[in-house]
Copies of this chain bind each other. A is one copy, B any other.
Amino acid sequence: MQPVYVRNAWYLAAWANELKPGEPFTRTLLDEPVMMYRTGDGTPVALEDRCCHRSLPLSLGKIEGDRIRCGYHGLLFDAGGRCVQVPGQSLVPPGSGVRRYPAVERWRAIWLWMGVPAAADPALIPNLYWLDHPQWGAGTGQMQIKCGYQLIVDNVLDLTHLSYVHPRTFGTLAIAESPARYERVGDQVRIIRWILDSKPPGVMMRNRAMDGNIDRRQLITFLPPSVVTIEGWFGPAVAGRDQRAEPEGGFGICNVNALTPVSATETLHLFAEAQSYAPKDDAATNKLFTEVYDTFLEDIEVLQAQQRALLERPNRPMIDINADAGGLEARRIMARLTASDAARPAA
C-alpha cells in the first residue's frame, strides 16, 4: 500500500498542554518522526526526530535553552534545525542540520505544516473557536487508533452509526431513520440532519436532565484534509419546524476531531468536546467529555476491526448506501487535493 497524504496542510500534532517546557516530545505524522519542544519563551519548535550524524532520535537528547543536544555524540541544533556545534572540532560541516517544520500554537493546540515551509500560512489553520471562546467550555483528549485516518473521517461524516455503535450515549434509533442532506462549500463538505420529535439520547438525559421528546440537529463539517467538526443542537420539539432556518433557544455542543495520520494504517485522533450550556462550569465540561471519551472507545473497536478486515482481504467489493453521500463527496475532494498536492514543487 502506497500511503498518499496532502503534505501542504496544517495538522494538529498535539494539544498545547502536552508540550511541557524543557521536555522533548515526539509524535509521528505522515510517516515522519517529529520531535517538538518549547524554547525559553514558550514558542513551539518542531524538528525531524533524527540526528543528521548517526540517526539517533533527537528526542533522546537534552534541551539546552532554545536548543537541543543529541544524546549520542553531543551535536547541538538550534530551533531552526541548524547544527551549531560538533564536540571535539571547531568547524561544523557546512549544510549540517535537520528538517524544521513550521509550528503554530492556536486553539489550545500545536499545528504543524508538513509541506514546503514557505507555503505555511497560519491563516489556513481551521477555525476551531469553540476551544477557547468564553461562551464555550471544552475538554480535550487523544487516542492512537490502528486504522487509516480516512476510515475515521468516514465514521464521523456518517452519524447513522450512532444508532448501532453508541446507543448508550449519543445514539437513538431515530438518527438512522432520519435522512441527511449535504452541501459543498469550496473544498469543505457540510452535512445536516434533523432528528425531529423524538427521545433525547442518553448522554443528554444524564447531562441536561432532558426527558420529553426533542428536536435535534447535527451539522457536520469536513475541513480537509483531516479535521471534522460536529455541531449538535438540542431544543424543544416544534411542529412544522423550518429545517432551513437556524434554530433558536435550546443549547449546543461541539465535537472537534483532528484525525492526524501517523501512517497509512494508524491515526492520532485528537478530539475535543465543547458545550455552551455551562461554559464556566469545569465539572459540567468534564462530565460531558468523559462520555465522549467512552463513546470513542466504542468506535476504536469498530474502526480497528474494519481496518484489519480491509488489510486481510483488500479486494472484496463494497456497496454504498444513501447515508454515504456526504462521505463520498469528501473522498472525491480528497482525491483531487491529494493529486494537486503531489504535483506541487517540493521546495
Q: Which residues of A contact B (CB under 8 A)?
A: 33, 50, 52-57, 60, 69-75, 86-89, 93, 96, 154, 158, 160-161, 163-165, 176-179, 301-302, 305-306, 309-310, 312-313, 316-323
Contact = CB atoms under 8 A, between A and B. Distances in A.
9 contacts: A33-B312, A52-B318, A55-B318, A56-B306, A60-B302, A72-B165, A86-B322, A88-B323, A93-B319
Contact of A57 (B57, B73, B309): B309
A159 B329 CA distance: 58
Nearest to A96: B319
Contacts of A71: 164-165, 302
A86 B305 CA distance: 21
State the oligomeric state as a number of copies: 3
Secondary structure dominating the interface of A: loop
A86 B158 CA distance: 14
Contacts of A57: 305, 309
Contacts of A72: 161, 164-165, 302, 306
B52 A321 contact: no
Most B CB within 10 A of own CB, among A75, A89, A158: A89
B178 A319 contact: no
A301 B323 CA distance: 49
A144 B161 CA distance: 34
A49 B319 CA distance: 16
Contact of A56 (B73, B74, B179, B302): B302
A163 B87 contact: yes
